[in-house]
Chain A
Amino acid sequence: RKEVEQDPGPFNVPEGATVAFNCTYSNSASQSFFWYRQDCRKEPKLLMSVYSSGNEDGRFTAQLNRASQYISLLIRDSKLSDSATYLCVVNPNTGNQFYFGTGTSLTVIP
Chain B
Amino acid sequence: GAVVSQHPSRVICKSGTSVKIECRSLDFQATTMFWYRQFPKQSLMLMATSNEGSKATYEQGVEKDKFLINHASLTLSTLTVTSAHPEDSSFYICSASRAGGARGYTFGSGTRLTVV
Query: A: which residues have CB within 8 A of B?
Result: 31-32, 34, 36, 41-46, 49, 87, 89, 91, 93, 95-98, 100-103
Contact = CB atoms under 8 A, between A and B. Distances in A.
A95 B105 CA distance: 13
Contacts of B112: 41
The listed residue with most A CB atoms (<10 A of its CB), out of B34, B43, B101, B106, is: B43
A102 B107 CA distance: 17
Interface string B42-56: 111110010000000
A9 B109 CA distance: 25
B101 A32 contact: yes
B77 interface: no
Contacts of A87: 43-44
A90 to B, nearest CB: 10
A75 B73 CA distance: 41
Contacts of B105: 44, 46, 89, 98
A43 B93 contact: yes
Contacts of B45: 100
Interface string B85-116: 00000010100010011111111111010000
